[in-house]
Amino acid sequence: MELLYKSTRGKEEAVTASKAILQGLAGDGGLFVPEEIPGLDLSMEQLAGMSYQETAYEILKLFLTDFTEEELKYCIRSAYDEKFDTEAVAPLAKVDGAYYLELFHGATIAFKDMALSVLPYLMTTAAKKNNIQNEIVILTATSGDTGKAALAGFADVPGTRIIVFYPKNGVSPIQEKQMVTQKGDNTFVVGIQGNFDDAQSGVKAIFADKALKEELDRAGFQLSSANSINIGRLAPQIVYYVYACAKLLEEGELAAGERVNVVVPTGNFGNILAAYYAKQMGAPIGKLICASNDNKVLYDFFQTGEYDRNRPFILTTSPSMDILISSNLERLLYRIAGADAEKDVELMGALEKEGKYRITQQMKEQLEDFCGYYATEEEAAAVIAGVYGNTGYVMDTHTAVAACAYKKYTKETGDETKTVIASTASPYKFARSVMEAVDAEKYGGMTDFELIDELSKISGVEVPKAVEELRTAPVRHKTVCRASDMKKTVREFLGVE
């Protein structure tokens, strides 16, 4: 049976998965959601013996129903290959009473690789299926990790170009170096004078500009997105939560029918939404613990039912979560409103005009799967130092926010359910913050690459290739613009005047 996708804002006709992937954002400004969440058609016991690639096929075939088996297996095989430094792709590490799902073993050492390795193949396959002649232009805003993972995925892919906007002073030095040294004649990286929300709002405004869309079409271009607003990015994220449950079952860490809680460090809400979808499909997931940093807009939302971005934007040591407009939350709102597009439009309109909205009591009651916790900078640093001191395991700053949320949750509730913590980036990506958390006095005065070498010594983990290459990589992208000039910058890069 074909699964179609509709817009959360209700003004678009339902489309196939391949068309939703190509469009990225719906024409009415909404996000594409499946008309229903498909149920798993295999038992967890059957999934338990499968590789990551086999699990990915079993999940993606249910969501991307207009792709053939051959097409999907080609996309999956091409994505999850030797780019990953472990055969498991997403291994689980049992540390300090929890299971850390390591999602950072791909080419850019962050969890975004998990979906952005497969998206370029899904997109170029979708273009062929729909007889698209235009060159596809991937337009993406990043808070640090999506940008590099998307650049690496789309670099030199025929028939595509990619433009990434990032906040010039809002990412870690390693994140910035990874992006501005990106090779590929079809890649373009732009720092903007503003924060991630400015970049994301600018990208959404470009997608919503119908005159620009027509202008680009005449010039032979078609816009799409690699952000988690694209369903082709979100669906692959569901895989690793199903895979984690199956692996725990296979390894005897989980009994048949036993549930696991999941903790996800969250900014744009895509990663935890994928865990929610996995639960809706039938994966044995209990609580979904949403972990925030000092930009705790989601924590406040789960506490009160009010989403309010009218607050200071705080730059933290977990920059990929420095977000006040969590785009993917719209998909959840639409679902808990009973697929009421009018309600969704009302809430999103209030967010745009007033910077806040409040959900109904009936909607709030639909959020019982979720709870929110947050970690301050000091608390996250203390968790990095504490877990390293107790176990020798070194985690990055985002994972530390999640680990702190897990500790707060168990202390407050007494819930002893086994727990998977999404470990979203390698500590190497945030070496300075990690090493200063371990011992600020000892490591405070070192250069970034001295810290990387020290991190290798204390963790016993070899410096990843993605970081090693940065030592000598030349800077290739130097463009910086104001947020208000993003549209003009896109035109210039594409040669459309």
pLDDT one-digit tens code per residue, 407-430: 999 999 999 999 999 999 999 999
**CA geometry: angle at 80 spanning 470 and 25, to 5°?**
85
Cα distance between residue 226 and residue 213, in whole Å: 17
Q: What residues pair up with 34 in beta bridges, in sequence order? A: 5
Q: Model confidence at 228, in pLDDT bands (50, 70, 90)?
A: confident
Among 390, 468, 381, 359, which residue's Cα sits nearest to residue 432? 381
Q: Give me the mean pLDDT over the 180-209 stretch.
A: 94
Residue identified by tokens 């204390």 is 458
Query: Are 253 and 48 a contacting pair, CB within 8 Å?
Result: no
Residue 229: per-residue pLDDT: 86
Tens of pLDDT, residues 54-70: 999 999 999 999 999 99
Mean pLDDT of all residues belonging to the chain: 95
Q: How confident is the model at residue 145 (pLDDT cuts 50, 70, 90)?
A: confident
Predicted local confidence at residue 225, as pLDDT: 87
Mean pLDDT of 36-47: 97
Q: Is 126 left (phi over 0), alpha (psi -120 to 50) or beta?
A: alpha
Highest mean pLDDT: which of 23-27, 107-111, 283-287?
A: 283-287
pLDDT at 11 over 90: no
Which tokens hold the place of 341? 């597009």
pLDDT of 497 strictly over 90: no
Task: Kindly state the average pLDDT of the residues 293-305.
Answer: 97
Examine the pLDDT at 445 and tell me if it is beyond 80.
yes
Q: Kindly report, residue by residue over 95-106, the tens digit of the pLDDT.
A: 999 999 999 999
What is the reported pLDDT for 143? Answer: 86
Average pLDDT over residues 220-228: 89
At residue 369, the pLDDT reads 96
What's residue 1's pLDDT?
82
User: Tokens for 248?
Assistant: 């725990």
Instruction: Tell me the whole-structure pTM to 2 decimals.
Output: 0.93
